[in-house]
Structure 1
Amino acid sequence: MAKKQDTKNAENDNDKNPKANNTPTVNKHYEIIDSEIVYEFGGPLGVTAMMVGFPLLMYYLWGCLQFYRGKLVSPFDNQFCNQVFKGAFPTWYATKMYVLFCLFELFLAYFMPGPIVKGAPVSSLKGRRLDYLCNGVTSWYATLATSFILHNYGWFRLTEIIDNFGPLMSVAVISGFVITLVIYATTIMQGNQYRMSGHLMYDLFMGAALNPRLGHVDLKMFAEIRIPWVLLFYISVSAAIKEYELFGYVSASMSFMVLAHFLYVNACAKGEECIPTTWDMTYEKFGFMLIFWNFAGVPFTYCFATIYLHNISIDNKQPLQHSQSWTYFCYALLLLGYYIWDTANSQKNRFRMINNGSYIPRYTFPQLPWGTLKNPTYIKTKSGNLLLTSGWWGIARKIHYTADLMMAFSWAFITGFSTVITYFYPVFFIVVLMHRVTRDMQRCAKKYGKDWEEYCRRVPYIFIPGIY
């Protein structure tokens, strides 16, 4: 049965509010489900192929963009292989840039001020709720200020990022493998491994550690927020500054990429306090899948639209321009997708945080209308968990993914249709989201049983209301 949320009553519920009851509680059913070993991604062979194949795909697609204007060429062509090898060979300069950036972000994550938020109960820790220092906003602003000073005074020109993109990508790829091995080995030596399959490659891919920490810094949350999206933003900023230096202005297309990536990283920073209660923090382990993807995959593949625009402007000796109507359409699709994505995530996470007693009102920029639901409806499961059925979440079960895809396609649309490589991100994202949704649906069906069936009846659509 759907119920309306009474915030006061929710905060006085001893079973759900840690302020009233600090003793960890364990749902044995959830603990069993969370500890189950389920082979995904094709099992050991599938993940091994991904660990080898995806880095090679990154080099191939970048090489096509860098040397052939996005045309797909034979990966076995000797000239192509030599161009990629020389253009992406890791340098000491690129290594210093990448490592110092990561260490600087880690320093900020450790020392910058921010609220401490309780995560969701972790079954593997007998229901204990971990503390998370959420200083993403202050760290983000400190990064912006530092980069402005470094660039403005000539200590580090931001154009060095786009000029050294190939070597930086190689350093990131190597770092992804090294960090994976270090985290895995450290976890095994400490005896903190969890949900292990016994197959080395599969366990390397999925990870051994669930909540690895360096002091009070949660490494999983750090890797998810502080590295990939900040790097992605600065790749676009670097290309925009380069365009300005070459032509005296920044095109609408390149400005679009800077805006798109700013909105994304800013949203991650301003809403960081919502992340500790997510599935990523409580269930996913910290292995190659998350480590490589955040340290290398996201920043150096989601930027293909920026790389294409940058290279085309150099080849054509002028930036790529579209008709006003197409440009307006891309901007409108981006902003609409961002509004739905931001407010949908805000509604769900604030609802969850209010009910577990961890909600902290914050006024970070921008706070969009309809970000917090008043008197939302929900289904209370037999275990006491609440399934939100109002706001965006009464329209579709994964409406935030739909909005994410709207933004992803807008990033590709701004490049036009001369190459398929700039559509890698949205197409790949569809595959990732479909797999993630399947995993999530199966897990929720096991956890909630009949209550999940009722939830699906009340909110029948997954992505697009009235269609799917």
Structure 2
Amino acid sequence: MTIKSESVWNYVESPSIDGIIKAGGYFLIYFFGMFLASKCLPSIEARSPKKTYKLTGFYIFILLTILIPIGYYTEHLSLLFIIKNFISFFIVINIFTILFSLYLFQREEAIQNAPNSNRPIDYWHGREKDPMLFDVDLKVFFYQPSLIGLALVNLSLAEAQISLYGTLTIGMILYQIFWYLYLLTHYIREDFMLWTFDIIEDHFGFMLVWGDLIYVPFLYSIAGWFVADNIHKPLSITWLIITIFLHFIGHYIFRVSNWQKFDVRKYGSKVKIWGKQVKLLEGRLILSGFWGIGRHVNYTGEILLYLSIALCSGTISFVPYILPISLLILLSQRASRDDQRCRTKYGEKIWGQYCQVAKFRMIPYIY
């Protein structure tokens, strides 16, 4: 990857002892601030299939939506330090991830929960499903520093573009809008995540801690670096129209299909989808909404969503397209595995009947 002489990458400082200490201080203030907010802010009570949670993510998100613009307007806030210390943050947060996962592995409750789980694989997956600290569910809490961290990195890239080039491009504006809407639609139905496999079944160890603190904020923001540097190749009107169209179509399919399935799982056959009473096959498989069209259209929507974010960078580099391309490969394989699993779970006859209604997996007439 070539870095141009004039580039936001040039803001990034080489890691040093002082830089790592500074980044460590910033991160700990941020992390414990998020924890205190999760502990002290008003909460929304929500149930999962196994227990009741108190969710504060929506209030944290709305509070920051108000405070960050005020901070920028009054010139009391700058997030350029995130870009300047990006490598130091990466080092610090990886170290924190290793140590925090060790804490999860060695804490008394974990040992009592799985006294014979001492293998490296148990450190990777974790010993406990629902570790609690000061009445805060850690697995649910870690979504906050993860997703809010992604938002802060994205904002720092917009600030870097203004600082370096003196402008905010259409591509960067769309990039910020797309990610904001992604987070907003997550938080307005935050209880959805309580019904996901990660929350219900997974143990909480290094794999999920690293995914929350490193994978999401560092990898998902990678396109923003190229959006920030795309100054000399402005996006055409046609490109912009396609990008906006793909985003809103993909975003709608991704969220609404998942919400439809979630609502049926939570409330059963009394749910209405698109204004009509939900239809169920054998009381189990949804024949309404997106699930009566395709078997895994939520994956299709997710790929289109991330593709639209990559398109905000134009053709400046192939790197932003690695995420949607990798998701296309991984989710296509997952859709095939899901079909096999469902065929075993529901039986050849019932699954065959469902496939007669929802005829394709992800792409009509193709896959």
* TM-score between both structures, scaled by the size of structure 2: 0.86
Shift of the 172–356 alpha-carbon distance from structure 1 to 2, 3 Å rule, reads farther
8 Å contact from structure 1 (residues 176, 291) kept in 2: yes
Aligned to 2:150: 232
8 Å contact from structure 2 (residues 226, 316) kept in 1: no
Distance 2:104 2:269 in 1: 31
Aligned to 2:255: 342
> Which residue identity does 1:131 align to in structure 2?
T
| Cα deviation digits, residues 177-213 of structure 1 (max 9, x gap) | 222222122277442249x8x6823322222221222
Residue 118 (structure 1) aligned to one of 47, 70, 74: 47
Residue 420 (structure 1) aligned to one of 309, 312, 318: 318
Residue 184, structure 1, aligned to residue 100, structure 2: no
Residue 86 (structure 1) aligned to one of 14, 26, 44: 14
Distance 1:444 1:245 in 2: 52
3-state secondary structure, aligned to 1:157 = coil
The Cα of 1:165 is off from its aligned counterpart by: 2.0
| Cα deviation digits, residues 431-450 of structure 1 (max 9, x gap) | 44345445644554454335
8 Å contact from structure 1 (residues 243, 249) kept in 2: yes
Residue 55 (structure 2) aligned to one of 119, 127, 134: 134
Unaligned runs of 5+ in 1: 1-63, 71-83, 121-128, 360-369
Aligned to 1:393: 291
Shift of the 237–132 alpha-carbon distance from structure 1 to 2, 3 Å rule, reads same
Aligned to 2:186: 268
Shift of the 140–307 alpha-carbon distance from structure 1 to 2, 3 Å rule, reads same
> Which residue identity does 1:337 align to in structure 2?
G
Aligned to 1:459: 358
3-state secondary structure, aligned to 2:277 = coil
Shift of the 397–164 alpha-carbon distance from structure 1 to 2, 3 Å rule, reads same
The residue correspondences of 1:118-267 to structure 2 (distance < 5 A) are 118-120=47-49, 129-186=50-107, 189-193=110-114, 200-223=119-142, 225-267=143-185
> Which residue identity does 2:141 align to in structure 1?
F
Distance 1:67 1:192 in 2: 53
| Cα deviation digits, residues 83-123 of structure 1 (max 9, x gap) | x9935875222222222222222222222223311111xxx
> Which residue identity does 1:420 align to in structure 2?
F
Structure with greater proportional helix content? 2
Residue 99, structure 1, aligned to residue 24, structure 2: no
> Which residue identity does 2:39 align to in structure 1?
Y
| Cα deviation digits, residues 152-173 of structure 1 (max 9, x gap) | 4555412222232222222222
Residue 306, structure 1, aligned to residue 224, structure 2: yes
Aligned to 1:22: none
The Cα of 1:246 is off from its aligned counterpart by: 3.9
Distance 1:377 1:420 in 2: 43
3-state secondary structure, aligned to 2:120 = helix
Distance 1:373 1:279 in 2: 28
Shift of the 433–206 alpha-carbon distance from structure 1 to 2, 3 Å rule, reads farther
Distance 1:199 1:438 in 2: 34
8 Å contact from structure 2 (residues 98, 206) kept in 1: yes
8 Å contact from structure 1 (residues 88, 170) kept in 2: no
8 Å contact from structure 1 (residues 88, 169) kept in 2: no
Shift of the 88–413 alpha-carbon distance from structure 1 to 2, 3 Å rule, reads farther
3-state secondary structure, aligned to 1:117 = strand
Aligned to 1:449: 347
> Which residue identity does 2:86 align to in structure 1?
F
Aligned to 2:195: 277
Aligned to 1:374: 276
Aligned to 1:295: 213
The Cα of 1:321 is off from its aligned counterpart by: 1.4
8 Å contact from structure 1 (residues 350, 372) kept in 2: no
The residue correspondences of 1:326-365 to structure 2 (distance < 5 A) are 326-355=239-268
The Cα of 1:402 is off from its aligned counterpart by: 0.6
* TM-score between both structures, scaled by the size of structure 1: 0.69
Identity %: 24
Shift of the 349–150 alpha-carbon distance from structure 1 to 2, 3 Å rule, reads same
Distance 1:131 1:332 in 2: 38
The Cα of 1:337 is off from its aligned counterpart by: 0.9
3-state secondary structure, aligned to 1:132 = strand
Distance 1:143 1:268 in 2: 15
3-state secondary structure, aligned to 2:276 = coil
Shift of the 189–242 alpha-carbon distance from structure 1 to 2, 3 Å rule, reads closer
| Cα deviation digits, residues 128-149 of structure 1 (max 9, x gap) | x211112322121112233344
Shift of the 233–373 alpha-carbon distance from structure 1 to 2, 3 Å rule, reads farther
Of structures 1 and 2, the one scoring higher in RCO (CA 8 A, sep 6+) is: 1
Distance 2:362 2:233 in 1: 33
Unaligned runs of 5+ in 2: none
8 Å contact from structure 2 (residues 125, 207) kept in 1: yes
| Cα deviation digits, residues 14-45 of structure 1 (max 9, x gap) | xxxxxxxxxxxxxxxxxxxxxxxxxxxxxxxx
Distance 1:185 1:108 in 2: 26
3-state secondary structure, aligned to 2:285 = strand
8 Å contact from structure 1 (residues 236, 254) kept in 2: no
